[in-house]
Every structure is written in structure tokens, then in C-alpha cells.
Amino acid sequence: MVIERPKSLRDLVLENLRDRIVSGRLAMGQSLSERSISDELQVSKTPVREALAQLREEGLVQIEPQKGAKVFTLTEDEVEQICDFRMTIEFAAFELAMARSHEGLLTDMSDIVASMTKAMDAGEIQTYLDLDTAFHRLAFKHCGNEYLSASYERYEGKIAALRTHMAALPLHTKLSYEEHFELKDACNGNDLPELRSILERHIARTRDSYVQATSE
């Protein structure tokens, strides 16, 4: 029998802050006070400082000397780079997953898009966004390459936070929802060119929508 070790205060603070950033409860650019966080969570400053350092490594927090910490913000160029990164690494992972674990990938995709439908019908947008993150994680779950998975995992929180930011735009979530069915169908047909085309459209819309949102 394996006994799970209790999570450290650092890990508990890390999970709390990461979840609040990804869900948008802490807004992009919002200042983060070590003292306020430690008072709110009733912990010392040490685990808060350690958690913020880890979030900086994940790109979710920016820390500047003399200015302190704040939730990340992105320039248009940085969004472009994230989209380039996603397209390259996600397509590579999908290609490997389709070759190595086609049936398992399709089974998991079908389960998630079914749950997405329930969330959309119920108007549960945050649940849908969590499922959106889980859907894209499937390629790395089934690709059989730990290096690809680790590379994506490092920035997954930042990608998820950007996804939350985009959800407020008209039609963005609806189109995203429809494209997940298209991605599943392309995988089902083992059609890599079609998968690439849909994935490019899916990810490019995030870039274009962010540019639109920031300009407005």
C-alpha cells in the first residue's frame, strides 16, 4: 500500500494561486502582495514566496525588483510565439498519439467532447474551459514522449489562462466548441492534413482574438 504524503504549504499555496490565475479570478496584470496572500491563506510569507517563484517559472507571474509580483501580461508578439509553440508541439503530439494510441486517444476525445456538450448546454463556461484544457492534454497523454509532455506542461497554465481571457469574446467559445468535434473527426479518420488545417485555424483564432481584445 502506498501512503500519499500530505501536500506542503508551498504546494497548497501554489495550487490556490495557479487556479485563481487560470480561472481569471486574478486578472492579467493584477498586483500580488506576499503579505496579503499570506494573511488571506493564513500561512507565513515563505511558502507564498516559494509559490510565486514557481509561478514565475511557469510564466504565470512576473516579478520585478523593487516592484514586486503581478499576474502575467502578454504582448501581441508573445501571443504569436505561444501560438507558434502550440501549433508545433500539439501537432507533433497528435501525430504520435494517432500512430501509437489511436483507439485510446479517440475514446478519451469522445468522452471529453460529450462532457463539453453537457457543460455548454448548462451554461457552465468554466467547466467547459477546464475540459478544453483537458482535451488538448490528451495528445500528450497518448503520444508516448515524455519530453513533449514536459515541454507542454510547463506552459499549460499560461495557455489555459489565455483561453479563459478569450472566453469573454463573442462567439469565441462557440467556435472553439465546434472545432473540437472537427479535431476528433479528423483523428477518427486518421487524416493528418485535415487535423493540421483545423488545429491551425483553432490556434490562430486565439491569436487574432487576443489582438482584437487588446485593441478594444
pTM: 0.86
**CB-based contacts of 179, cutoff 8 Å, min separation 6:** 198, 201, 202
How far separated are the first and last CA of the chain, in Å rounded?
56
φ/ψ bin of 68: left (φ > 0), alpha (ψ from -120 to 50), beta (otherwise): left
Closest C-alpha to 71, from 60, 58, 79? 60
Q: pLDDT tens track of the chain, all 216 residues?
A: 555 666 788 999 999 999 999 998 999 999 999 999 999 999 999 999 999 999 999 999 999 887 889 999 888 888 899 999 999 999 999 999 999 999 999 999 999 999 999 999 999 999 999 999 999 999 999 999 999 999 999 999 999 998 888 877 768 888 999 999 999 999 999 999 999 999 999 999 888 877 766 665
Look at residue 36 and tell me if it is in a domain. Answer: yes
Shared-domain flag, residues 80 and 130: yes
Residue 108 and residue 133 in one domain: yes
Can you give the pLDDT at residue 4?
Answer: 61
Domain boundary among the residues 43, 71, 99 is at 71
Report the CATH number at residue 16.
1.10.10.10
Same domain, 127 and 150: yes
Cβ neighbours, 10 Å, residue 62:
16
Looking at 54, 71, 88, the residue that finishes a domain is: 71
Residues 83 and 138 in one domain: yes
pLDDT of residue 5: 64
Please count the structural domains in the chain: 2
**Domain span holding position 64:** 9-71
Three-state DSSP class for 101? Answer: coil
Return the sign of the alpha-carbon dihedral for residues 26, 32, 34, 36.
negative
- Distance between CA atoms of 153 and 149, rounded to whole angstroms? 6
Q: What is the pLDDT of residue 168?
A: 75
Residue 210 to residue 135: CA distance in whole angstroms: 21
Q: How far is CA 207 from CA 47, 67, 87, 193, in A?
A: 35, 29, 12, 21
Looking at residue 3, what is its pLDDT? 56
Q: What CATH number is given to the structural domain containing 126?
A: 1.20.120.530
* 114 located within any domain: yes
Same domain, 13 and 28: yes
Ramachandran quadrant class, 207 (left: phi over 0; alpha: psi -120 to 50; beta: rest): alpha
- According to the model, what pLDDT value does residue 182 have? 97
pLDDT the model gives residue 214: 62
Looking at the fold, whether 55 and 159 belong to one and the same domain comes out as no
Residues 81 and 65 in one domain: no
